[in-house]
């Protein structure tokens, strides 16, 4: 009988993008520690697995050999030729000691989780270190060096014919969409802040796939200021009907927490209530499920969102009050968190944002829904 699998994060703790970079690797350790503090790592039906580094052969299922060679050379943290043409050595994608190990370890962690799902041992499996959805075949992008999501989906395609990928990160899942834009074997759905306002500047409603993949790429961009009511409406009126019509054999989700209110890099205003509605929806599909982490630059938001998600995946209710032992640990990183859940959002999404969402939904009903037999 399948159980719930969680990938450990100890091996990530020696890696660091640098003091001025928004992506703090220590968020992984703090999240895992919060799960431990709630007893969510040792419960019956839950098991832990060690991460591993992805092999070059596995990375080549999406990435170019020349790019991987340059990324390998960067592992010393020193400058090497051809950095910039591969998106490396920038503020977003710095070269640091261990960068290749970081990239292959994050990817290998998602592959390990995918293998557990593929073998039928886990549903769900959760790799909080994954979800690095921007990396392209020959280029690092948006803090992402190797696209673990694509590698994991490629692994799952060895055993499943139809896979649905849903990305709720505030940033468009452009690398994953690119990988599967011309196939109907993977349905990619991304909810995100509009590319008119936020990196990577893609993910517009008109991007619906091509060739065999026409209608199998779906984008729901929100204008800045979208709140829970807009997010939940998108989930219930677009995401859920498409998933039910597609009938995936397996589900992959990217659970970026940067759409939550208070993230320093985005302008969405979701709460944990909307976030957990997405988790409920995914769980309700009842199919093998690989969950991955993603963005999130307010560390308190990241730790509580992924802890709540893991509890929800396992049908466990945990108290709002954060354990004192974890608060003491978090204070060393200047992270303050007293309660897990947000209060219900009493404010509505601004009218102009809802009107834009209306247009998006109408457009999808005209272009994508008929392909899936929906009205």
Q: Which CATH number belongs to the domain containing residue 234 in this structure?
A: 3.40.800.20
Mention every residue, 6+ apart, whose C-beta is less than 8 A from residue 206: 363
Count of residues in the chain: 375
Q: Which residues of the chain have pLDDT under 50?
A: none
Q: What is the pLDDT of residue 77?
A: 83
Name the DSSP class of 54. Answer: P
Whole domain around residue 15: which residue ranges?
3-340+347-372
- What lies within 8 Å, CB to CB, of 366 at 6+ separation is none
pTM exceeds 0.85, yes or no? yes
Question: Closest Cα to residue 253, out of 119, 138, 123, 146?
Answer: 123
- CA pair distance 238, 179, nearest whole angstrom: 22
Looking at residue 256, its pLDDT comes to 98
In terms of Cα–Cα distance, which of 360, 198, 213, 345 is closest to 271? 345
Q: Copy the structure tokens of residue 46.
A: 């839950």
Q: Where are the alpha helices (DSSP H) in 38-166?
A: 56-59, 65-73, 99-118, 148-156
Structural domain total, the chain: 1
Question: Which has the closest alpha carbon to 221: 183, 287, 290, 170?
Answer: 170
Tokens coding 324: 């004192």
The phi and psi torsions of 126 (rounded to 5 degrees) equal -130, 120
Alpha helices in 215-271 (DSSP H): 228-234, 240-246
Residues with a known catalytic role: 134
- 251 φ/ψ angles, rounded to the nearest 5 degrees: -125, 135
Give residue 2's pLDDT. 84
**The Cα angle at residue 187 between residues 184 and 191, in degrees rounded to 5:** 150
- pLDDT score at 67: 97
How far is residue 296's CA from residue 305's CA, in Å, rounded to a whole number?
10
Contact indicator for 170, 199 with CB cutoff of 8 Å:
no
Local structure of 330: helix, strand or coil: helix
Task: Report the greatest alpha carbon distance in the chain.
Answer: 55
């Amino acid at each position: 009988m399948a159980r719930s699998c969680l990938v450990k994060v100890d091996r990530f703790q020696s890696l660091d993008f640098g003091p001025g970079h928004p992506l703090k690797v220590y968020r992984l350790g703090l999240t895992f520690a919060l799960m431990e503090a709630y007893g969510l790592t040792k419960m019956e039906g839950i098991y832990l697995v060690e991460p591993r580094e992805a092999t070059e052969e596995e990375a080549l299922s999406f990435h170019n050999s020349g790019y991987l060679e340059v990324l390998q050379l960067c592992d010393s943290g020193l400058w090497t030729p051809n950095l910039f043409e591969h998106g490396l050595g920038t503020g977003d994608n710095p070269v640091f000691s261990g960068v290749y190990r970081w990239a292959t370890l994050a990817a290998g962690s998602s592959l390990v989780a995918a293998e557990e799902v593929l073998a039928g041992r886990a549903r769900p499996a959760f790799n909080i270190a994954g979800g690095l959805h921007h990396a392209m075949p020959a280029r690092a992008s948006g803090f992402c060096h190797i696209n673990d999501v694509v590698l994991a989906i490629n692994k799952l395609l060895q055993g499943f014919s139809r896979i649905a990928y849903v990305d709720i990160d505030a940033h468009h899942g452009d690398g994953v969409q690119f990988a599967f834009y011309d196939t109907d074997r993977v349905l990619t759905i991304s909810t995100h802040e509009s590319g008119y306002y936020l990196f990577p500047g893609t993910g517009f409603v008109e991007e619906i796939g091509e060739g065999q993949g026409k209608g199998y790429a779906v984008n729901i961009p929100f204008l800045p200021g979208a709140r829970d009511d807009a997010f939940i409406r998108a989930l219930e009126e677009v995401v859920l009907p498409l998933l039910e019509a597609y009938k995936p054999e397996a589900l992959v989700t990217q659970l970026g927490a940067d759409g939550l209110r208070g993230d320093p890099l985005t302008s969405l205003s979701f709460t944990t209530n909307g976030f957990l509605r997405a988790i409920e929806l995914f769980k309700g599909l009842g199919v093998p499920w690989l969950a991955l982490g993603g963005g999130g630059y307010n560390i308190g938001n990241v730790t509580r969102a992924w802890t709540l998600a893991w509890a929800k995946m396992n049908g466990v209710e945990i108290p709002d009050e954060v354990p004192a032992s974890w608060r003491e640990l978090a204070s060393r990183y200047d992270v303050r968190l007293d309660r897990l859940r947000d209060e219900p959002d009493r404010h509505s999404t601004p009218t102009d944002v809802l009107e834009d969402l209306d247009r998006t939904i109408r457009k999808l009903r005209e272009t994508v829904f008929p392909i899936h037999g929906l009205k």
